[in-house]
Chains A and B, each alone.
Chain A
Amino acid sequence: NAGVTQTPKFRVLKTGQSMTLLCAQDMNHEYMYWYRQDPGMGLRLIHYSVGEGTTAKGEVPDGYNVSRLKKQNFLLGLESAAPSQTSVYFCASSWTRTKDEQFFGPGTRLTVL
Protein backbone atom coordinates (compact mmCIF):
# COMPACT_ATOMS: atom_id res chain seq x y z
CA ASN A 1 0.00 0.00 0.00
CA ALA A 2 2.02 2.97 -1.30
CA GLY A 3 -0.57 5.68 -0.50
CA VAL A 4 -0.01 8.74 -2.67
CA THR A 5 3.03 8.83 -4.95
CA GLN A 6 4.33 11.64 -7.15
CA THR A 7 6.58 11.59 -10.19
CA PRO A 8 9.11 13.14 -10.59
CA LYS A 9 10.59 14.25 -7.25
CA PHE A 10 12.66 17.06 -8.77
CA ARG A 11 12.64 18.88 -12.08
CA VAL A 12 14.33 21.89 -13.61
CA LEU A 13 12.70 23.56 -16.59
CA LYS A 14 13.54 26.51 -18.80
CA THR A 15 10.97 29.23 -19.30
CA GLY A 16 8.49 28.19 -21.95
CA GLN A 17 9.02 24.47 -21.61
CA SER A 18 6.16 22.15 -20.78
CA MET A 19 5.90 19.22 -18.42
CA THR A 20 3.45 16.93 -16.69
CA LEU A 21 3.49 15.91 -13.04
CA LEU A 22 1.95 12.56 -12.24
CA CYS A 23 0.09 11.69 -9.05
CA ALA A 24 -1.10 8.19 -8.25
CA GLN A 25 -3.07 6.86 -5.28
CA ASP A 26 -3.95 3.30 -4.37
CA MET A 27 -6.60 4.00 -1.72
CA ASN A 28 -9.53 4.13 -4.14
CA HIS A 29 -10.20 7.75 -3.14
CA GLU A 30 -12.73 9.73 -5.14
CA TYR A 31 -11.19 13.15 -4.57
CA MET A 32 -7.75 14.26 -5.68
CA TYR A 33 -6.01 17.63 -5.41
CA TRP A 34 -2.98 19.55 -6.57
CA TYR A 35 -1.42 22.17 -4.29
CA ARG A 36 1.59 24.39 -4.51
CA GLN A 37 3.64 25.55 -1.54
CA ASP A 38 5.72 28.70 -1.65
CA PRO A 39 7.97 30.16 1.07
CA GLY A 40 6.01 32.07 3.71
CA MET A 41 2.69 30.86 2.35
CA GLY A 42 0.44 27.96 3.08
CA LEU A 43 -0.50 25.31 0.59
CA ARG A 44 -2.68 26.76 -2.13
CA LEU A 45 -5.10 24.66 -4.15
CA ILE A 46 -4.49 24.67 -7.91
CA HIS A 47 -7.09 22.23 -9.20
CA TYR A 48 -9.03 19.33 -7.81
CA SER A 49 -11.09 16.40 -9.05
CA VAL A 50 -14.25 14.91 -7.57
CA GLY A 51 -14.01 11.73 -9.60
CA GLU A 52 -12.81 10.12 -12.79
CA GLY A 53 -13.26 12.44 -15.75
CA THR A 54 -14.10 15.53 -13.67
CA THR A 55 -11.91 18.46 -12.64
CA ALA A 56 -12.46 21.88 -11.09
CA LYS A 57 -10.44 25.03 -10.47
CA GLY A 58 -9.00 25.86 -7.10
CA GLU A 59 -7.55 29.04 -5.68
CA VAL A 60 -4.64 29.49 -8.13
CA PRO A 61 -5.46 27.64 -11.39
CA ASP A 62 -3.91 29.99 -13.97
CA GLY A 63 -1.10 28.47 -16.03
CA TYR A 64 -2.00 24.89 -15.13
CA ASN A 65 -4.19 22.19 -16.62
CA VAL A 66 -5.22 18.85 -15.14
CA SER A 67 -6.70 15.57 -16.23
CA ARG A 68 -8.22 12.60 -14.39
CA LEU A 69 -8.60 9.86 -16.99
CA LYS A 70 -8.30 7.09 -14.41
CA LYS A 71 -9.57 7.16 -10.86
CA GLN A 72 -6.15 6.45 -9.39
CA ASN A 73 -4.23 9.08 -11.40
CA PHE A 74 -4.32 12.87 -11.44
CA LEU A 75 -2.04 14.73 -13.83
CA LEU A 76 -0.92 18.35 -13.54
CA GLY A 77 0.35 20.01 -16.70
CA LEU A 78 2.31 23.17 -17.29
CA GLU A 79 2.02 24.14 -20.96
CA SER A 80 4.50 27.03 -20.90
CA ALA A 81 6.46 27.19 -17.66
CA ALA A 82 7.22 30.54 -16.05
CA PRO A 83 9.64 31.39 -13.21
CA SER A 84 6.61 32.22 -11.04
CA GLN A 85 5.73 28.53 -11.16
CA THR A 86 8.88 27.61 -9.27
CA SER A 87 7.44 25.88 -6.24
CA VAL A 88 6.94 22.61 -4.41
CA TYR A 89 3.89 20.79 -5.71
CA PHE A 90 1.90 18.41 -3.55
CA CYS A 91 -0.77 15.99 -4.63
CA ALA A 92 -3.38 14.76 -2.17
CA SER A 93 -6.41 12.49 -2.13
CA SER A 94 -9.41 11.89 0.12
CA TRP A 95 -12.67 9.97 0.30
CA THR A 96 -14.79 13.09 0.32
CA ARG A 97 -14.33 16.83 0.10
CA THR A 98 -15.65 17.49 3.60
CA LYS A 99 -14.38 16.43 7.00
CA ASP A 100 -12.16 13.55 5.87
CA GLU A 101 -8.50 14.33 6.04
CA GLN A 102 -6.44 14.49 2.89
CA PHE A 103 -3.50 12.17 2.30
CA PHE A 104 -0.52 13.88 0.73
CA GLY A 105 2.24 12.71 -1.55
CA PRO A 106 5.92 13.53 -0.87
CA GLY A 107 5.99 16.52 -3.22
CA THR A 108 7.72 17.56 -6.45
CA ARG A 109 10.24 20.39 -6.34
CA LEU A 110 10.06 22.32 -9.60
CA THR A 111 12.46 25.07 -10.61
CA VAL A 112 11.79 27.18 -13.69
CA LEU A 113 14.81 29.13 -14.91
Chain B
Amino acid sequence: DQQVKQNSPSLSVQEGRISILNCDYTNSMFDYFLWYKKYPAEGPTFLISISSIKDKNEDGRFTVFLNKSAKHLSLHIVPSQPGDSAVYFCAARVSSDMRFGAGTRLTVKP
Protein backbone atom coordinates (compact mmCIF):
# COMPACT_ATOMS: atom_id res chain seq x y z
CA ASP B 1 0.00 0.00 0.00
CA GLN B 2 1.92 2.99 -1.32
CA GLN B 3 0.68 5.98 0.61
CA VAL B 4 3.05 8.33 -1.20
CA LYS B 5 3.25 8.24 -4.98
CA GLN B 6 5.47 9.93 -7.50
CA ASN B 7 3.86 9.05 -10.78
CA SER B 8 6.59 10.40 -13.04
CA PRO B 9 9.68 8.17 -12.94
CA SER B 10 11.67 10.72 -14.92
CA LEU B 11 11.69 14.35 -16.02
CA SER B 12 13.96 16.17 -18.43
CA VAL B 13 14.24 19.97 -18.59
CA GLN B 14 16.50 22.53 -20.20
CA GLU B 15 18.98 24.46 -18.09
CA GLY B 16 17.48 27.74 -16.88
CA ARG B 17 13.88 26.53 -17.15
CA ILE B 18 11.57 25.50 -14.34
CA SER B 19 11.48 21.90 -13.04
CA ILE B 20 8.26 20.77 -11.41
CA LEU B 21 8.24 17.48 -9.54
CA ASN B 22 4.96 16.13 -8.28
CA CYS B 23 3.90 13.90 -5.41
CA ASP B 24 0.51 12.59 -4.32
CA TYR B 25 -0.43 11.05 -1.01
CA THR B 26 -3.42 9.18 0.32
CA ASN B 27 -3.16 9.47 4.10
CA SER B 28 -4.82 12.69 5.28
CA MET B 29 -3.12 12.29 8.66
CA PHE B 30 0.31 13.18 7.27
CA ASP B 31 1.39 16.43 8.92
CA TYR B 32 4.89 17.03 7.60
CA PHE B 33 6.32 16.67 4.12
CA LEU B 34 9.92 16.58 2.93
CA TRP B 35 11.89 16.42 -0.29
CA TYR B 36 15.21 14.61 -0.54
CA LYS B 37 17.72 14.62 -3.38
CA LYS B 38 19.88 11.63 -4.20
CA TYR B 39 22.98 11.40 -6.38
CA PRO B 40 24.28 8.01 -7.59
CA ALA B 41 26.22 6.01 -5.00
CA GLU B 42 25.26 8.47 -2.26
CA GLY B 43 22.55 8.55 0.36
CA PRO B 44 19.58 10.91 0.09
CA THR B 45 20.16 14.44 1.35
CA PHE B 46 17.48 16.69 2.75
CA LEU B 47 16.35 19.48 0.47
CA ILE B 48 13.27 21.24 1.81
CA SER B 49 10.22 20.56 3.97
CA ILE B 50 6.78 21.91 4.70
CA SER B 51 4.35 21.57 7.56
CA SER B 52 0.74 20.70 6.83
CA ILE B 53 -0.36 24.05 8.26
CA LYS B 54 1.38 25.88 5.41
CA ASP B 55 0.83 25.84 1.68
CA LYS B 56 4.20 27.10 0.52
CA ASN B 57 7.80 27.08 1.64
CA GLU B 58 10.67 28.65 -0.25
CA ASP B 59 14.42 28.22 0.03
CA GLY B 60 16.46 29.87 -2.66
CA ARG B 61 15.73 28.22 -6.01
CA PHE B 62 13.53 25.58 -4.38
CA THR B 63 9.87 26.02 -3.50
CA VAL B 64 7.52 23.37 -2.17
CA PHE B 65 3.77 23.75 -2.58
CA LEU B 66 1.19 21.80 -0.60
CA ASN B 67 -2.43 21.37 -1.65
CA LYS B 68 -4.07 19.51 1.21
CA SER B 69 -7.50 19.29 -0.37
CA ALA B 70 -5.98 17.55 -3.39
CA LYS B 71 -3.43 15.65 -1.27
CA HIS B 72 -0.77 16.91 -3.63
CA LEU B 73 2.75 18.17 -3.12
CA SER B 74 5.06 19.73 -5.68
CA LEU B 75 8.66 20.90 -5.79
CA HIS B 76 9.61 23.76 -8.09
CA ILE B 77 13.21 24.41 -9.04
CA VAL B 78 13.84 27.75 -10.71
CA PRO B 79 16.12 28.14 -12.56
CA SER B 80 17.17 24.54 -13.09
CA GLN B 81 20.90 23.82 -13.25
CA PRO B 82 22.80 20.76 -14.54
CA GLY B 83 23.94 20.07 -10.95
CA ASP B 84 20.28 19.54 -10.02
CA SER B 85 20.28 16.32 -12.03
CA ALA B 86 19.49 13.65 -9.44
CA VAL B 87 16.68 11.46 -8.12
CA TYR B 88 14.18 13.37 -5.99
CA PHE B 89 12.15 11.62 -3.30
CA CYS B 90 9.16 13.09 -1.55
CA ALA B 91 8.34 11.87 1.93
CA ALA B 92 5.38 12.33 4.25
CA ARG B 93 5.25 11.85 7.97
CA VAL B 94 2.69 11.32 10.72
CA SER B 95 4.00 10.82 14.23
CA SER B 96 6.74 8.19 14.05
CA ASP B 97 5.82 6.94 10.58
CA MET B 98 7.50 8.39 7.48
CA ARG B 99 6.71 7.12 3.99
CA PHE B 100 8.69 7.79 0.84
CA GLY B 101 7.69 7.96 -2.79
CA ALA B 102 9.55 5.90 -5.40
CA GLY B 103 11.45 8.92 -6.69
CA THR B 104 11.64 10.98 -9.88
CA ARG B 105 14.87 11.15 -11.87
CA LEU B 106 15.46 14.74 -12.97
CA THR B 107 17.83 15.45 -15.85
CA VAL B 108 18.75 19.05 -16.54
CA LYS B 109 20.28 19.48 -20.00
CA PRO B 110 22.86 22.22 -20.62
Hey, which bits of chain A sit against chain B, CB under 8 A? 4, 35, 40-45, 48, 56, 59, 90, 92, 97-99, 101-107
Binding site for A on B (CB under 8 A): 2, 4, 6, 32, 34, 36, 41-46, 49, 51, 89, 91, 93, 95-103
Is B95 within 8 A of A98, CB to CB? yes
Contact B102 A90 (CB under 8 A): no
Which residues of A are found within 8 Å of B6, using beta-carbon distances? 42
- Known contacts A42-B103, A101-B34, A101-B49, A4 near B93 by CB under 8 Å: no
Option from B2, B46, B101, B103 in Cβ contact (under 8 Å) with A101: B46
Q: For A40, what are the chain B residues with a Cβ–Cβ distance below 8 Å? A: 102
Contact B102 A41 (CB under 8 A): yes
Select one of A44, A101, A105 contacting B100, CB under 8 A. Answer: A44
B2 lies within 8 A of A42 (CB) = yes
Q: In the complex, which residues of chain B have a beta carbon less than 8 angstroms from the beta carbon of A56? A: 96
Q: Which residues of B contact A90 (CB under 8 A)?
A: 43-44
CA distance A97 to B97 in the complex (A): 9
